[in-house]
Amino acid sequence: MGKYDFTSRPNRLNQFTYKWQSSEKNPDLLQLWVADMDFLPVPEIKQAIIDYGQEHIFGYNYFKDSLYQSVIDWEKNEHGYEIKKEDISFIDGVVPAISVAIQAFTEKGDAVLINSPVYYPFARTIRLNDRKLVENSLLIKNGHFEIDFEQLEKDIVENQVKLYVFCSPHNPGGRVWSKVELQKIGQLCKKHGVILVSDEIHQDLALFGHTHHSFNTVDDSFKDFTLVLSSATKTFNIAGTKNSFVIIQNPTLRRKFQRVQLANNQHEVPTIGMITTETAFTYGKPWLEELKKVVEKNIDYLVDYFEKNTKIKVMKPEGTYLVWLDFSAYGIEQPQLDEKLQKEAKVVLNDGAHFGKEGKTFARLNVATPFETIKEASERIAKAFGK
Ligand SMILES: Cc1ncc(COP(=O)(O)O)c(C=O)c1O
């Protein structure tokens, strides 16, 4: 028994919780889709919000030095990444930061590359900004995703790619990329003049002994063309408080990024996000340590249970709390797969096809929920699909 409660499921109904919205009408449904967690928050974060409500009048705020310092310390202590205050720009989300980067460093019609499948707002943002979407398919090898580097270089050269939005660790596959892989990516970007946007929002959730390497720690020269995007929001389940940070060590790139932020009036973030971020980074470490054990236990259970009771192929994640499930052995594809999951198993997962064409026989399952929910969901899925 740890210090924190990861077994009671907090009520999430009638709280305008996006993840649990459809359960308000259909309470039989178990929600395992949107990437937030059904766990009670870090107590210090809850207290900090209460204190703010009691002591403040909700006006405009500035970015406190202690907020910058909490980010600097977290990056150094958790990831061995040494940054300075001026390298950091705050913004209301990692996805908004991707939009700003696309607008700052590319023109309409320019090619922007992603690895597919990947977190679906990447492709959406590129398309809605009228850039050319280049999808480099990931390979499934050795039970996890790998990058086809030969094809990647071809895709970069043939399309004259200007910017690469990279997901590290990877959502939905849970891949924690090795140093060697990151080296190769960086070398390709350097060789072909590509700006790299490294989305590291899942950086704190490396599991089972894997180590996340922040992109610029792999090779000092990568900081000339790389933007590292991260936040405390995924790690500490505070996504609704909206605060992320962008680390840009090249001053020319930073000025361009900040200019577009200002042009969009995206240079301010909600005060509540500043408070939750600083508090999470200052007090959240013991909670995170326990959380990771709970997530690992849920993943191990799921892998074992599905192997024994279903034909689902589970891509065991090396990080994140997201599990990529292959239902191809049942001869079913999206959207019928999603329909069967909801109607027969009464569980809501993410439709794998939303992450790219490679995902049409897949669904993504979020295990950041008490073990009892995972057990119940696994049994329902096994019953609906069979062995
Ligand atoms: C890879 C990745 N990037 C970004 C986000 C969302 O970031 P934000 O809420 O800061 O825009 C998520 C959320 O699940 C994610 O998985």
Q: DSSP 3-state assignment of 61?
A: coil
Distance CA 383, CA 387 (A): 9
Same domain, 206 and 243: yes
pLDDT digits (tens, 9 = 90+) for 326-347: 999 999 999 999 999 999 999 9
Shortest-distance atom of ligand 1 to CA 320: 16
Same domain, 99 and 194: yes
Residue of 167, 171, 244, 322 best suited for mutating to test ligand 1, as the one with most atoms within 8 Å of CB: 171
| Euclidean distance between the first and the last CA atom of the chain, given in angstroms as a whole number | 34
The pLDDT of residue 186: 98
pLDDT digits (tens, 9 = 90+) for 46-71: 999 999 999 999 999 999 999 999 99
Please provide residue 231's backbone torsions phi and psi, each rounded to the nearest 5 degrees: -170, 170
Distance 330 CA to ligand 1 centre (A): 31
The pLDDT of residue 35: 96
Q: DSSP 3-state assignment of 3?
A: coil
Same domain, 294 and 214: no
Same domain, 73 and 199: yes
The pLDDT of residue 294: 98
Domain boundary (215, 249, 282) is at: 282
Q: Kindly state whether residue 213 falls inside one of the protein's structural domains.
A: yes
Same domain, 124 and 273: yes
Distance 96 CA to ligand 1 centre (A): 9
Same domain, 145 and 238: yes
Same domain, 168 and 247: yes
Q: What is the DSSP letter of 204?
A: G
Residue identifier of the C-alpha nearest atom 12 of ligand 1: 201
The pLDDT of residue 86: 98
Same domain, 229 and 97: yes
Is the CB of 119 inside a 6 Å radius of any atom of ligand 1? Answer: yes
Is the CB of 97 inside a 6 Å radius of any atom of ligand 1? Answer: no
pLDDT digits (tens, 9 = 90+) for 299-324: 999 999 999 999 999 999 999 999 99
In this model, does residue 1 exceed pLDDT 80?
no
- Longest CA–CA span in the chain (Å) reads 59
pLDDT digits (tens, 9 = 90+) for 146-187: 999 999 999 999 999 999 999 999 999 999 999 999 999 999
Same domain, 259 and 330: no
Same domain, 200 and 341: no
Distance CA 28, CA 275 (A): 36
Same domain, 233 and 275: yes
User: C-alpha angle with apex 129: 128 to 132, nearest 5 degrees?
Assistant: 95
Distance CA 190, CA 242 (A): 32
Distance CA 82, CA 76 (A): 5
Distance 120 CA to ligand 1 centre (A): 10
Residue of 98, 114, 125, 201 best suited for mutating to test ligand 1, as the one with most atoms within 8 Å of CB: 201
Domain boundary (242, 265, 282) is at: 282
Distance CA 387, CA 379 (A): 12
pLDDT digits (tens, 9 = 90+) for 180-227: 999 999 999 999 999 999 999 999 999 999 999 999 999 999 999 999
Q: List, in order, residues 6 or more apart from 170 with CB less than 8 Å away.
A: 115, 118, 138, 145, 176, 177, 320
Q: Kindly state whether residue 3 falls inside one of the protein's structural domains.
A: no
The pLDDT of residue 88: 98
Q: List, in order, residues 6 or more apart from 40 with CB less than 8 Å away.
A: 4, 5, 6, 8, 10
Q: Kindly state whether residue 230 falls inside one of the protein's structural domains.
A: yes
**Burial of residue 24, with CB atoms counted within 10 A of its CB: 0-12 exposed, 13-18 middle, 19 or more buried:** middle
Model pTM score: 0.98
In this model, does residue 28 exceed pLDDT 80?
yes
Shortest-distance atom of ligand 1 to CA 322: 16
Q: How many domains is the chain partitioned into structurally?
A: 2
In this model, does residue 123 exceed pLDDT 70?
yes
Count of Cβ atoms closer than 10 Å to residue 116 Cβ: 18
> What integer best gives the mean pLDDT of the chain?
97
Look at phi and psi of residue 237 and say left if phi exceeds 0, alpha if psi is from -120 to 50, else beta.
left
**Burial of residue 244, with CB atoms counted within 10 A of its CB: 0-12 exposed, 13-18 middle, 19 or more buried:** buried
Domain boundary (253, 282, 311) is at: 282
Residue of 94, 170, 323, 350 best suited for mutating to test ligand 1, as the one with most atoms within 8 Å of CB: 94
The pLDDT of residue 2: 86
Is the CB of 324 inside a 6 Å radius of any atom of ligand 1? Answer: no
- For residue 169, what are the domain limits? 57-282
Is the CB of 205 inside a 6 Å radius of any atom of ligand 1? Answer: no
| Amino acid code (one letter) for 287 | W
Query: Percent of the chain having pLDDT more than 90?
Result: 98
Q: Kindly state whether residue 159 falls inside one of the protein's structural domains.
A: yes
Same domain, 118 and 182: yes
